[in-house]
Structure 1
Amino acid sequence: MLLSFRVQNFRSVRDIQELTLLATPPDAGLPAPLLFGPALHVSPLAGVFGANAAGKSTVLRALDTLRALTAAGSDARDAVRRFEPFRLDPAARLLPTRFEAEVLAGGVRYVWGCAYKQGEISGEWLHAYARERRTIWYERDRGGVRTLPWARLDGLAAVVAGDPDVTLLALGADAEHPRLAPVAAAFAAIVPVRVAPGPRLVRDLEHLAAGWTDELTLLLARAGLGIAGVDTDGDGVRLVHEARTGPHPLGAYGESDGTIAWLDLLAALLPALDRGGVLLVDDLDAMLHPSLTAEALRLVGDPRLNPAQAQLVFTARAVPPTTAESQRWYAVKDDGATRLRREPGGPGLSPGELAHELWLAKRRPTV
């Protein structure tokens, strides 16, 4: 589970910003047992709201970049090469981007973080917390890597010393290291989901045929989309609509963008409810009716339907009334930089005021 996330000097974020999913009050979240000590209570939802260009999507992109930095394969190297510092301050371009996240894996709290510039990891650290005591598994800077002896990381540390554009945690995931791989798996469970218009909307539904479930059929049929059922005969999947002449199946090309967006979300959400993980959804309400947005949030927030304690981090234009205040974050711009706050920013020009300003500008004499 994701407990908290911090980011600095990334895209529209200049100063350190933190998003936490620890529930306040504690009884408002899902219980997450620890190996030692009382259980934590973690929120299954975190919504980021704000005006256009306030930096909402930047928060989700930062989380996805964090996932890539810890991933096996070439993802970590690709993320380091895509160095994206805050560009409105010349000094920030010379500083590294910094990410830090706290996750729960196997009943233990871990804090992993890294700092990087173009093609180079300048710092990395992994700490574990048990019985409220911190154990430093490793810390890395340009001078080398210092590791905990019993963690048996010397071999990986020697490899990373000559490989400055990959994280030690990503190497541990590649090597399936018995101590690092479970931590890397917690970050690998962060999954971005697209529900906005784009290439996925014109794809057929064959990619869902093998994993189609009765639950998916039920949620589609009860969503008020005119869908009566699903035809899975043959090679693909077609949604069945009721018509005067009887049931009529349609392929993806005949469905509305909103229907496909709801299907895309459910196709990722339902497996997460069974397996766990963290879903990242940008513009959750861009293509979905408010009732469907609320239904998705209820699915994640209901512990009976979410036994694996999946989490959903999303951005939206409007604040869903089903979210608690502790689950709401607001992105605001200050001197061109994004800040995360618990309360919304001050009101800007209303549409009527904006139109009035335009009317006044047109009446001003030109010289």
Structure 2
Amino acid sequence: MLLSISFCNFQSFKNEIALKLTLNKNSPVRGWQRLSPSGERVTTALGVFGANAAGKTAFLKPLAFLSWFISQSFSSEPSAKIPVTPHFSTPLNPTRIEIEADDREGVVWRYVLEVTRERVIHEALYKKQSRFKYVFVRDLADDGVSYEIKQQGFGFTPNEARKVRPNASLISTAVQYGVESAVHVADFFFATNINIHGRVSLGGALSVASELFGKNDAIRPAMISLLTSWDLGLSDVAIEELEYKKSDGSTQKIWTSFGKHQTKEGLTHHLPMEQESSGTQSAFFLLSRLLLVLHYGGVAAIDEMESDLHPNLLEPILELFDKESTNPHAAQILFTCHSSKVLDLLQKSQVYFIEKNDCESEAFRGDEIEGLRSDDNLRAKYESGALGAVPKV
């Protein structure tokens, strides 16, 4: 499970920010908590609130970036820039990200990365036994080109380790060689609706979701059951792989989905998902992200979870991460939201507030707010402006 992530000099966040999912021993919650394999008390849902342009999406991006960098950066072009953006006032300083998580065996891992757009400055992996000990440390040498690499049980041959490109992770590269520790660490399931540029549009995302559900028998029934129970007017969802003839005479196969609508007389009408309401489309794509981590375990980072959805749908969506019957592997969801109804469900230790002042974003967890009691009405306090993180209009 994800325990924490901290970062600095990342987009609008100039100073170090810590995002913690661990709960204090006596923190009262109404649900959405599990004991992690290492014995930590951890929330399975964490909401992020703030005004528009405060930095909520940027708050989730370091996790999305790390997930890509650790598992896929090996596939980057040799000359490609590393997709990080430092704070505009410190463009020459490296971006630093640190993450801690435990695996299913209860081993806690820490990964530390310092990068610029051009190269890795520092990369290290630690494993906790009685204390944290490095598995590998990779530092840019004084010549600014080569790397000094120390390993302690990582298992990557020194000759190949020295060849890792400056824009790629040692872990991602070691995975290609079947290094067991690298494969284990990179096997961190992550799903999101954001990339380095922000929230993805629904255009091409619908075909991606259709293909995922079409090929995955394990999660397709849950998607259909949920969509047909959410008063969207659907009686079923059909997914097909269709073959289209292109202008040059060649053919292309495309996955597509259809909402089934049935009248009281029993007549059935199939409507392409692209012609369904924005709410239905959003719910369909959202479930393609959430059901993956619920089935396999892992973390989902969702930007503007309520986008195009009725606020009443937020509670049943979040409940998927609370109940052990729907979340058997203790999957976690981090989400940004504008609907304050969510604050009736979560406690102060399960909510972050984001504010931007003088072009710098800052984040603080609800239980860090002085004077905020556990029995206070969190929603009323937030809506009144007492907790900050609301637009000043």
Q: TM-score range by the shorter chain?
A: 0.7 to 0.9
Find the partner of 1:271 among 260, 270, 292. 292
SS in 1 for 2:15: coil
Structure 1 distance, partners of 2:257, 2:109, is 42
Task: After TM superposition, give the deviation of residue 3 of structure 1 in Å.
Answer: 1.0
Q: Given the alignment, which residue of 312, 315, 318 partners 1:291?
A: 312
TM-score by length of 1: 0.83
Task: Please give the alpha-carbon distance, in whole angstroms, between the structure 1 residues aligned to 2:91 and 2:23.
Answer: 35
Question: Offset at 1:330?
Answer: 0.7
- Letter of the structure 2 residue corresponding to residue 61 of structure 1: K
Please list every run of 5 or more consecutive structure 2 residues that lacks an aligned counterpart in the other structure.
142-146, 243-255, 367-386
Q: Distance in 2 between matches of 1:167 and 1:288?
A: 38
Q: Provide the residue aligned with 1:355 in structure 2.
A: none
TM-score relative to the length of structure 2: 0.78
Say whether 1:153 aligns with 2:156: yes
The 1:173–1:283 alpha-carbon spacing in structure 2 relative to 1, beyond 3 Å, is: same
Say which is worse superposed, 210-219 or 276-285, in terms of deviation. Answer: 210-219
**1:288-327 map, 5 Å:** 288-319=309-340, 320=342, 321-327=344-350
1:41 to partner: Cα distance: 2.0
Shift in Å, 1:312? 0.9
Q: Does 1:227 align with 2:226?
A: no
> Do the aligned partners of 1:196 and 1:283 also contact (CA within 8 Å) in 2?
no
String of CA shifts for 1:257-292, please: whole Å, max 9, x gaps.
100111111122223212011111111112111122
3-state SS of the aligned residue for 2:180?
coil
Q: C-alpha root-mean-square deviation of aligned residues, in Å?
A: 2.6
Distance 1:177 1:50, change over 3 A: same
Moved more, 337-346 or 234-243: 234-243
Q: Corresponding residue for 1:139? A: 137
Which residue of structure 1 aligns with residue 120 of structure 2? 121
1:142-181 aligned at under 5 Å gives the runs 142-143=140-141, 144-155=147-158, 156-160=160-164, 163-181=165-183
The separation in 2 between residues aligned to 1:334 and 1:62, in whole angstroms, is: 20
CA contact (8 A) 1:49 1:331 kept: yes
Question: What secondary structure, in the 3-state scheme, does the structure 1 residue paired with 2:7 have?
Answer: strand
1:334 correspondence with 2:342: no
- Assess, with a 3 A threshold, how the Cα gap between structure 1 residues 112 and 202 changes in structure 2: closer, same or farther: closer
Q: Which has the higher helix share?
A: 1
Bigger mean CA offset, 10-19 vs 330-339: 330-339
Q: Is the 8 A contact 1:285 1:317 kept in 2?
A: yes
Deviations 1:49-72 (A, max 9, x none): 100100001012222111122123
**Is this contact kept in 1: 2:139–2:148, CA < 8 A?**
yes
The 2-side partners of 1:81 and 1:273 are apart by 30
In structure 1, the gaps of 5 or more residues are 351-367
* Cα-to-partner distance string for 1:71-94 (whole Å, 9 max, x where unaligned): 23325978853341101x2xx112
Q: Deviations over 1:133-185 (max 9, x none)?
A: 1111122222343424433334243223xx32222122122222111221122
- Percent of residue pairs bearing the same amino acid type: 25
In structure 2, the residue matched to 1:356 is: none
1:345 is aligned to 388
* Deviation for aligned residue 1:9: 0.4
AA at the equivalent of 1:211: N
